[in-house]
Homo-oligomer: A and B are copies of this chain.
Amino acid sequence: MPKAALVCVGSELLAGQVNTHQAWLSVRLRRAGFDVVGESSVPDEVPAIRRALARALAAADAVIVCGGLGPTFDDLTREAAAAALGRRMSLRPALWKAILQRFARYHLAVPEENKRQAHVIAGAKVLANRAGSAPGQLLRARGRTLVLLPGPPCEMYPMFEGQVLGRLKKTHARGLHPASFSVRLSGVPESAADEMLEPVRARWPQARFTILASGGEVSFHALTVESSDLAARRVRARLRREILDAVSDFAHGEGEETLEHALGERLRRRGLTLAVAESCTGGLLGGRLTAVPGSSTYFLGGVIAYANALKVRSLGVPSRLLSRHGAVSAECAAAMARGARRELGASLGVAVTGIAGPQGGTAEKPVGTVFVAVSGPGRAETVRRLDVIGPRENVRSRAVTSALRLAYDALA
């Protein structure tokens, strides 16, 4: 398998900014059949960038560099890459003209320092940037490919997918046909999913498997490299069948399909609507549901009933139910789900109530105790108790995932 390495440039990555490029690029490179052998983050300094590039070029066939292509004094990736390859840079008049035109469109004066963005390393192919002013560059040197990409995700993502990935495959993975299949699971712990998939892993010693867990969802990815497109398609179909057979009860989507998207598709297909009632999640369930573009087709809205008075007033939870069972109870969750459905006129009501912590736990209901409930469709009603271990944000994200999963199962 061809090897890829990542270099992330930017002093902010060594000062508290979370590096999201590493995960994003790794996933895409692996699916294309590359082995991602390492990543390094370096500050905006020419010697550090140059050293990292030289090391990466020695270790991998394709080196992807993000960041440091802006117009300011501390954008030094171009200079460092030219030095690492021992090549010159020169101004490309066409690029400079394009930058001038871009600024003119927004009626802005062009700062002189933007000229730096029109400098290109000898032999580089220029990658157009449709969302910003920094063009990317792609270079071939001693059998390696070096790609320079801008840092902002809205510029980097389309440039990589539209202009880079295909070229990398053609150059380094020609004749290699990756058979790649991913599935996303919910309602199952990572360790249990891992165990269910063990027989599949044992049957495919030549394949590479990855299992990742986050916020109550698990994703599982399988990859083999075949010698023909036909073989790859056959192997993928077999892998897909075996994997889905092993985890069928828990799979909600293939590829990168999120649980909120899968639930939305079930609602849309059946022409149903959904409303939420949230206590400890404070709106995060609605936030996840509306992360899906077009979710207004089936998502009506909901009530954030953080205070108990609102559970009574806005959701019609009987106050004697609250005083008898408490707000964190199966009874209250079910009443909240019914209330959301009834008060908001939806086909399904989904509710969450729990103790997110760090305070508020008791011996009977410790921090992490959460009840999720679904009312509908029709007369159906389900409630589930969770016992989540971990800090406040874990409890809340697990509660949201469980609520989404319960609604998804209600529409099976």
**A9–chain B nearest beta-carbon distance, Å:** 11
Q: Mark A391-412, 1 if CB is under 8 A from B, else 0.
A: 1111010000000000000000
In Å, the complex CA distance between A287 and B20 comes to: 22
Q: Mark A196-236, 1 if CB is under 8 A from B, else 0.
A: 00000000000000101010000101000000000000000
**A241–chain B nearest beta-carbon distance, Å:** 23
Q: What number of copies of this chain does the assembly contain?
A: 2
A371 touches B (CB below 8 Å): no
Interface centre among A16, A284, A305, A390 (most CB of B within 10 A): A16
Is B301 in contact with A310, judged by CB distance below 8 angstroms?
yes
A386 touches B (CB below 8 Å): no
Contact of A293 among B38, B301, B358 (CB under 8 A): B358
Is A300 in contact with B306, judged by CB distance below 8 angstroms?
yes
Tell me the chain A residues, 266-299 only, with Cβ under 8 Å from chain B: 276, 278, 280-287, 289-291, 293-296, 299
Residue of B nearest to A209 (CB): B15
**A19–chain B nearest beta-carbon distance, Å:** 6
Residue of B nearest to A284 (CB): B287
Is A299 in contact with B306, judged by CB distance below 8 angstroms?
yes
A330 touches B (CB below 8 Å): no
* Chain A residues touching B, range: 35 or more
Contact of A304 among B38, B212, B301 (CB under 8 A): B301
Contact of A296 among B306, B357, B396 (CB under 8 A): B306
Contact of A14 among B38, B42, B390 (CB under 8 A): B38
**A367–chain B nearest beta-carbon distance, Å:** 10
**A406–chain B nearest beta-carbon distance, Å:** 17
Residue of B nearest to A55 (CB): B55
A77 touches B (CB below 8 Å): no
Is B13 in contact with A30, judged by CB distance below 8 angstroms?
no
Contact of A40 among B18, B41, B396 (CB under 8 A): B41
Residue of B nearest to A303 (CB): B303
**A131–chain B nearest beta-carbon distance, Å:** 9
Tell me the chain A residues, 176-192 only, with Cβ under 8 Å from chain B: none
Contact of A357 among B11, B293, B300 (CB under 8 A): B293
Q: Which of A21-29, A86-94, A166-174 contacts B (4 or more CB under 8 A)?
A: A21-29
Is B22 in contact with A41, judged by CB distance below 8 angstroms?
yes
Is B16 in contact with A18, judged by CB distance below 8 angstroms?
no
**A84–chain B nearest beta-carbon distance, Å:** 16
In Å, the complex CA distance between A302 and B287 comes to: 13
Contact of A39 among B14, B276, B345, B358 (CB under 8 A): B14
Is B212 in contact with A12, judged by CB distance below 8 angstroms?
yes
**A-B interface, 8 closest residue pairs, ranked by CB to CB distance from nearest:** A283-B286, A282-B290, A283-B283, A284-B287, A14-B36, A301-B306, A301-B304, A40-B40
Given A12-B212, A15-B210, A276-B304, 4 more A-B residue pairs with CB atoms under 8 Å apart are A16-B210, A18-B22, A276-B283, A282-B295
